[in-house]
Amino acid sequence: SEDGDAENGMGADFGDYDNDGRLDLVVTNFQGQTNTLYHNEGNGLFSDVSYASKIGTISLPYLAWGVSFCDYDNDGYQDLFIANGHLDENVQAFNPTGFYEQPNLLFHNNRDGTFDEVTLDSGSGMRLEKVSRSFAYADYDNDGDLDLLVTNLKGTPDLLENRGGHNTWLTLKLIGTRSNRDAIGARIKVTTGNLTQIREVRSGSSYLSQSDMRLHFGLGKHRQVDRLEIRWPRGLQEHLEGVKANQALTLVEGKVKSSR
């Protein structure tokens, strides 16, 4: 924590929430502890910005599990979704302020290092109160925005369809040839105007979950990507320029120049 106290640590994810080219870290924790956001300072050190980013105080009443950085509104800045639910069905017997079934939390990235909690303003699917554990994100209907599949203890999962869809986007599927087939470990840099975003292909994150391995980029109002750079796991670097927005591309290691 910011005070150096030990915390429980439930789920974790890396993501560059402020688009400074460095991966930051978010960790979910137990009820009474903050969900902790660590800002990557670029010198091998991380700073705890949980309260400064405005996610700390709001998270204190909840027992959090799954967490992911994901740009749900395609504005080019990664937001946060957190799955909550207590361990003990009788939590109120020893903690009158605790609840077994809890709402999940959606935080909108304000692009200035802070987040606003927008759960209740984001549709009926976000207002559910269950004993959630984990979730995965994917554009399951291929309409250009990220949807969520949330798992719940002693209940059915919830498939939450994203119906935003006002900004542009780009989705990339990477296939390794000399590197591993799924291109795990590849890094993508996408530049649109003065905004640069990075993503990495990973095989797991959050809490006991695997999201879509395709990389999704929100592009705001931009109609194209000025430059797209790929660093494959075995070191090969390739790039594209002038890539049109609102499409899903498959990029094969060693053959990227033939893709648009």
The one-letter code for the residue type at 57 is: T
Domains of the chain, by residue range, sit at 12-258
pTM metric for this prediction: 0.93
Strand boundaries in the chain, DSSP class E: 12-15, 24-27, 36-40, 46-48, 64-70, 79-84, 102-103, 105-109, 115-117, 129-130, 132-138, 147-152, 158-160, 168-175, 187-192, 195-200, 215-220, 224-231, 237-244, 247-252
With bands split at pLDDT 50, 70 and 90, how would you rate the model's confidence at 4?
low
Are residues 53 and 115 in contact, defined by beta-carbon separation less than 8 angstroms?
yes
pLDDT tens profile 70-120: 999 999 999 999 999 988 887 766 777 778 889 999 999 999 999 999 999
Contact 231, 237 (CB under 8 A): yes
Determine contact, residues 251/258, Cβ cutoff 8 Å. Answer: no
pLDDT at 7 over 70: yes
Residue 196 pairs in a beta bridge with 191
Token pair, residue 51, equals: 């309260």
Write out pLDDT tens, residues 218-239: 999 999 999 999 999 999 999 9
Instruction: Using CB atoms within 10 Å of the CB of residue 35, give its burial: 0 to 12 exposed, 13 to 18 middle, 19+ buried.
Output: buried
Q: Confirm if 23 and 16 have CB atoms less than 8 A apart.
A: yes
- Measured at the alpha carbon of residue 89, what is the angle toward residues 88 and 94, in degrees to the nearest 5? 65
Lookup: tokens for 30: 């137990």
Two tokens, residue 198: 């990075």
* The predicted structure's pLDDT at residue 260: 54
